[in-house]
């Protein structure tokens, strides 16, 4: 996903939480800073943010068949099992459920992330940021503290300058959104060469450009950055919601589920696993087509979706964008809930 798509997804997630009406304090905290914080959504893709690390190591969890014997069962997620782990609210679930191309012999094989350095993948990054966010919220300044239910008695002993500001909370939530959104991009979870960025040639780049063209220019950095002080929060959320019709998105703000896995790391792993299944649905790994052996190294979007299948491509667009926005709302709210003392939490239904 490119800069403008990342910015749009994160801003749209605030609007979803606002419409849900349950996360009023969280919305009150981040919404006023939406335009200013938007840069957070694309910072992880900028050169300086990748210093001293691999170029893409923390943005992807690219899976491929696992040939090892150790913990083999751990890397198998059969279809029914994965659908349960994804819950019913994600469109990814129905997309996978309705697919008939991946048969049981695909589903009952182990697949594992092709990770060069242990721990360098986006589920780890998202988990690390989520835990840190909870702590930063607890150490918030008076403004943050006022919105977060429950007293933090030690806060008064921290230098006021060292306490977290609302602007920082918003910026870090947006940064986290980058990794959550990347997990929804099928090419980020598929180790085949056809899903690589390939210097801007082929599937990965073509999908990103397609989504970027649908989002259009209102969330471009050249519009957000200089104008961020003058863009009214209500206006930016309204602009974000206007993109919905172009993706044919229909959100259900009143029924944003909780994490299904109960843990951000596992939730992201499950989302990545779902995205990997989606990548394998759109470009079949059958030996005669796009096998994991990389016999084919590049494929173009119009080969996978010829003109007569444009509706199928629109289904893919809708699913990825819907889930990217929803997943951000789910995980942001989860972090907020984590920072609230248990006895003050409102009761919610357990899963999706």
In sequence order, the 6+-apart residues with CB closer than 8 A to the CB of 296 are 193, 194, 289, 290
- Report how many residues bind Zn ion under the rule CB under 5 A: 3
Judged by CB under 5 A, the stretch of 15-23, 56-64, 151-159, 292-300 that binds Zn ion is 56-64
Q: Is 125 in the site for Zn ion (CB under 5 A)?
A: no
Judged by CB under 5 A, the stretch of 41-49, 258-266, 286-294, 296-304 that binds Zn ion is 41-49
> Smallest gap, in angstroms, from Cβ of residue 302 to Zn ion?
25
Q: Phi first, then psi: give them for residue 184, nearest 5 degrees.
A: -90, -5
Query: 59 or 273, CB closer to Zn ion?
Result: 59
Judged by CB under 5 A, the stretch of 18-26, 37-45, 134-142, 311-319 that binds Zn ion is 37-45
Judged by CB under 5 A, the stretch of 30-38, 59-67, 225-233, 326-334 that binds Zn ion is 59-67
- Nearest CA to 33 among 138, 181, 147, 155? 147
Q: Is 2 in the site for Zn ion (CB under 5 A)?
A: no
Residues 181-210 that bind Zn ion (CB under 5 A): 182
> Smallest gap, in angstroms, from Cβ of residue 125 to Zn ion?
10
Structural contact between residues 16 and 191, judged by C-beta atoms closer than 8 angstroms: no
Judged by CB under 5 A, the stretch of 40-48, 85-93, 149-157, 207-215 that binds Zn ion is 40-48
Q: Is 59 in the site for Zn ion (CB under 5 A)?
A: yes
Query: 57 or 110, CB closer to Zn ion?
Result: 57
Class of residue 32 by CB neighbours under 10 A (exposed 0-12, middle 13-18, buried 19+): middle
Judged by CB under 5 A, the stretch of 55-63, 71-79, 161-169, 270-278 that binds Zn ion is 55-63
Structural contact between residues 136 and 74, judged by C-beta atoms closer than 8 angstroms: no
> Smallest gap, in angstroms, from Cβ of residue 314 to Zn ion?
24
Label the pairing between strands 111-113 and 63-65.
antiparallel
Encode 107-142: b = buried (16+ Cβ within 10 Å), e = exposed.
beebbbbebeeeebbbbbbbbbbbeebbebbbbbbe
- Single residue of 2, 19, 22, 45 touching Zn ion by CB under 5 A: 45
* CA–CA dist 101, 51 (Å, integer): 41
Tally: H helices and E strands in the chain: 16, 2
Residues 166-185 that bind Zn ion (CB under 5 A): 182
> Smallest gap, in angstroms, from Cβ of residue 320 to Zn ion?
14
Residues 263-302 that bind Zn ion (CB under 5 A): none
Q: Which residue(s) pair with 111 in the sheet?
A: 65
Copy the structure tokens of residue 243: 């993109």
Residues 216-255, mask of contacts with Zn ion (x by CB under 5 A): ----------------------------------------
- Nearest CA to 29 among 187, 184, 148, 175? 148
| H or E stretch at 112 | strand 111-113
Copy the structure tokens of residue 70: 């150790």
> Smallest gap, in angstroms, from Cβ of residue 93 to Zn ion?
24
Query: 17 or 175, CB closer to Zn ion?
Result: 175
Nearest residue to Zn ion on Cβ basis: 59
> Smallest gap, in angstroms, from Cβ of residue 16 to Zn ion?
21
> Smallest gap, in angstroms, from Cβ of residue 141 to Zn ion?
30
Judged by CB under 5 A, the stretch of 52-60, 146-154, 192-200, 317-325 that binds Zn ion is 52-60
> Smallest gap, in angstroms, from Cβ of residue 244 to Zn ion?
23
CA distances from 195 to 34, 63, 66, 248, 319 (A): 32, 11, 18, 25, 18
Contacting residues toward Zn ion, per CB under 5 A: 45, 59, 182
């Amino acid at each position: 996903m490119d800069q403008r798509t990342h910015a749009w997804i994160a801003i749209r997630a605030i609007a979803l939480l606002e419409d849900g009406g349950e996360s009023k304090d969280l919305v009150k905290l981040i919404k006023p800073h939406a335009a200013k914080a938007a840069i957070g959504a694309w910072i992880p893709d900028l050169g300086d943010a990748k210093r001293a690390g691999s170029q893409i190591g923390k943005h992807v969890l690219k899976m491929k068949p696992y040939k090892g014997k150790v913990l083999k069962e751990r890397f198998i997620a059969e279809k029914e099992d994965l659908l349960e782990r994804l819950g019913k609210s994600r469109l990814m679930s129905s997309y996978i459920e309705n697919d008939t191309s991946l048969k049981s012999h695909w589903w009952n094989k182990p697949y594992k992330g092709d990770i060069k350095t242990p721990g360098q993948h986006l589920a780890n990054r998202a988990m690390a940021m989520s835990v840190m966010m909870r702590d930063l919220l607890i150490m918030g300044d008076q403004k943050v503290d006022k919105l977060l239910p429950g007293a933090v008695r030690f806060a008064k002993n921290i230098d006021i300058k060292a306490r977290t500001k609302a602007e920082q909370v918003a910026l870090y939530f947006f940064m986290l959104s980058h990794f959550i959104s990347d997990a929804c991009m099928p090419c980020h979870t598929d180790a085949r060469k056809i899903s690589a960025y390939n210097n801007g040639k082929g599937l990965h780049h073509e999908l990103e450009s397609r989504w970027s063209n649908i989002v259009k220019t209102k969330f471009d950095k050249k519009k957000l950055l200089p104008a961020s002080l003058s863009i009214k929060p209500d206006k930016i959320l309204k602009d974000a919601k206007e993109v919905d019709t172009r993706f044919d998105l229909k959100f259900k703000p009143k029924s944003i589920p909780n994490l299904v896995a109960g843990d951000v790391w596992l939730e992201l792993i499950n989302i990545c696993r779902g995205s990997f299944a989606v990548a394998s649905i759109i470009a079949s790994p059958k030996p005669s087509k796009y096998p994991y052996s990389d016999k084919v190294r590049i494929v173009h979007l119009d080969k996978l979706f010829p003109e007569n299948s444009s509706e199928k491509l629109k289904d893919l667009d809708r699913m990825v964008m819907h889930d990217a926005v929803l997943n951000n709302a789910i995980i942001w709210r989860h972090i907020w809930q984590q920072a609230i003392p248990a006895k003050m939490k409102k009761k919610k239904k357990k899963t999706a």
